[in-house]
Structures are given as structure tokens and as C-alpha cells.
Amino acid sequence: MTEIGIGIIGGGYMGKAHAAAYGSVGTLFDTALRPRLEMVCAASEVSAAKYQKAFGFARGTADWRVLVHDPKVEAVIIASPQDTHREIALAAFALGKPVFCEKPLGATLADSIAMTEAANASGAINMVGFNYIRTPAAQYARQLVAEGRIGDVTWFRGEHTEDFFADPALPATWRCQGMGNGTMGDLAPHMINGARALIGPITALCAQVETVHAKRGNMDVTNDDQAQFMCRFENGAQGHLFFSRIATGRKMGYAYEIHGTKGAIQFDQEDQNALHLYTMDGPEAERGFRKILTGPAHPDYLPFCQGPGHGTGYQDQIIIEAKDFLTAIATNTNIWPTFEEGLEVNRVVTAAIASSEKQTWVNVSDY
């Protein structure tokens, strides 16, 4: 086995998830590269020391430049605020180091373009953290669509809805400031990625992006609470996508419904180990959606559990990402979703915001 030194920038919610993933991925997937938790970077030396001890890193730092330039850090995981992504990624690519970046790729479309160009110029392995499309059920849904099990896709409905800001009395946080931290910057990229993965490129859309609670306490809210758009896919299918951080009762509402000429698929992340499939087989009186429980027969499930229906969880999605990233590095071959995908998702976000401002349909390729 060959070790690889991992450096993670950010020790909070996602930093912890990635640290746990790289600490266990080799055991679950028997990867050719075995990660070594080399260095963690946080906002202060105190935080860095705390995360170093808690997560099992060899060292900690409050300066991402120290981490990126350290020769023992051989792959960089960016789990810091999105307005830091561009500078960190460009520095790592200049050294030829593989980079995994949490979504959204860049704080702006210009950032994403620059980061993708740097990735391509360097030839270094790169990947974006779209974890929800990696569940065994979602991977199987992609397989069913690609194999034509539901025929030609005619319509797609997707949502990413949560309720962490549903109460208008909640105080303001950093999430209230800047479009990059609003619903279009935070939640929408996951479902846009899901729609592209399942159906294909989005070519045109007509969007509404709005702030429902304009003030929280004494602070003006400068970004969006919810958004929706109608769209047309490259294959001709129609679609509707909805995103919200004020969807009362929704905790992890990453859900979609796909209609085809021979059947349909339904999925809801709040029940991530079940996929609902309808096919136009047998007598009409016996037709209906059937619930498929994920198990060892589905992609990336068996390494976690030998029992069908026992299920995987959120952390397992991050472990699957880690496995893919390590495999890409070991084989020197990029594995989807790369920075190119992150860029295209950001392009759709940019087009949607422009459409809402113009109150008209727009072509995504114009952005």
C-alpha cells in the first residue's frame, strides 16, 4: 500500500466529514492509496490545534498557504468558505497537487472558469463535492435512465428544500449576506448537478429568485430564500426545479421525479435508501410504483454492509467521494464530477439569477 498525505482546509461541518471519510475509506474500499491525515487548516491556531487533536491530524495551521506548500501534503481538500476556493485551488494546481473542492466550485462564475482553466492547464486530478448524487440509490437511478428502463425521458421535477431558516424570527447569520451564501449558492447547485447527471445539460430556463424575509433582527438580508425555474434539457425533456431554505417541515428535501415513455422514477433523500420505480409492464390492474430497498446489488453499497435494506447514511456519501478521489489520483484519471461539472452547474446558477432579474427565458450558453 502507498500512503498519500491529505491536507484539509476547513475544520467545521464539512472539514470534519472529510476527515472522518479519509480516516476510514481505506478500510471500507481497500483503496490502492491509503490516506494519511497530514495537516488541517482552520481560522485560528486555537481552532487548528483543536481539530488536529479531534480528527487525528499530524499537524495543524491557521494559514492555508502553509498547508498547500507543505511537501508532505500531497492532495488538498478545500472545505472552507466559497470565496476562498479560487485562490487556494490556483495555488495547489500551480504545484501540480490534486484538489478536491466542496461545492459550489467558485463564489462566482468567473471564479469557476479560472479554477477550471487552472485545473486543465496543470493536468492535476480535480473533483467537486456533489455528494448526494453518490448514494447507491441515486447511482442506480442514473443507471436505470441510461439503460432506457423508463424509455425516453419527457419530464423532470427536482427540488432541494430545507427549513433551517423557515422561522422569520431566527437571528441573522453569515448565510444572510451575499448571493453566494443564499439558496441559489448553497442548495441549488446540488439539485442542478443531480438534474444534469440524471437527464443531461440544461439549455434554457425561466427563473424566479426571491427573498421572502427581507430582515432578520436589525440586519437586511441580501440574498435569496427560495427560487424556482422551468427549464428545457438538451434531450428535449421539460423540467422544473425548486430550491428553498424556508420550506417548513423539510429537513433534507433533495428529491426528484422522472417521467419517461415506459416508466417513472421517484426519490427523496429523506429516505435515501429507497428508490421508487414504475414500469409499464404486466396488466394495468397490477401496475404501480414499487419500492426498491438498496442493498449489495447496488453501486457502492456492499463495502458498507452485506445486508439489503440495512442502509447507508450521509457520512457514507462522503466516504464514497473519498474513494473516487483516491482512485482518480492512483490511476491518474479524472473521475466525474470534475471541476468542469462544477463550472457548468455555476453557469446554470448564473443564468437563473439573470433570468429572474430580466423576468424572461434565457439560454444557459449565453453565460
Query: 171-224: per-residue pLDDT in tens?
Result: 999 999 999 899 999 999 999 999 999 999 999 999 999 999 999 999 999 999
Q: Which three cell numbers stand for residue 47?
A: 481552532
- Residues 269-279 have a mean pLDDT of 98
Report the mean per-residue pLDDT for the chain: 97
Residue 217: left if φ>0, alpha if ψ -120 to 50, beta else—which one?
Answer: left
Give pLDDT, residue 146. Answer: 98
Question: For the segment 276-300, what is each residue's pLDDT rounded down to a tens digit?
Answer: 999 999 999 999 999 999 999 999 9
Q: Which helix (H) or strand (E) holds 357?
A: helix 339-358
**Cα angle at 60 between 56 and 62, to 5 degrees?**
145
- 78 vs 14: CA distance, rounded Å: 9
Q: Which tens digits make up the pLDDT trace of 119-135?
A: 999 999 999 999 999 99
Q: Rounded mean pLDDT of 98-125?
A: 97
Bond before 136 cis per omega within 30 degrees: no
158 pLDDT band (50/70/90 cuts)? Answer: very high
Cα 183 from chain centre? 14
| CATH fold of the domain at 133-310+345-358 | Dihydrodipicolinate Reductase; domain 2 (3.30.360)
Kindly report the pTM of this predicted structure: 0.96
pLDDT tens digits, one per residue of 9-34: 999 999 999 999 999 999 999 999 99
pLDDT at 255 over 60: yes
pLDDT at position 301 over 80? yes
pLDDT band for 336, please (50, 70, 90 cuts). very high
CATH 3.40.50.720 domain range(s) in the chain? 2-131
What is the Cα–Cα distance from 224 to 177, expressed in whole angstroms?
9
Domain with CATH 3.30.360.10 in the chain: 133-310+345-358
Give Cα separations from 5 to 57, 73, 150, 316 (angstroms): 10, 5, 44, 21
Q: Omega of the bond prior to 104 within 30 degrees of 0, cis? A: yes
d(CA 229, CA 353): 10
Mean local confidence (pLDDT), 108-126: 98
Q: What is the pLDDT of residue 209?
A: 98
C-alpha 108/C-alpha 92 separation (Å) is 19
Pairing mode, if any, of strands 59-61 and 75-78? unpaired
Residue of 129, 173, 150 lying closest to 256 (CA atoms): 150
Residue 1 is predicted with a pLDDT of 57
Alpha helices in 103-148 (DSSP H): 109-122, 136-146
The fold of 2-131 is Rossmann fold (3.40.50)
The bridge status of strand 75-78 relative to strand 2-9 is: parallel
Question: Is it the case that residue 103 has pLDDT exceeding 60?
Answer: yes
pLDDT above 90 coverage of the chain, percent: 99
DSSP string, 261-286: SSEEEEEEGGGTTEEEEEE--S-GGG
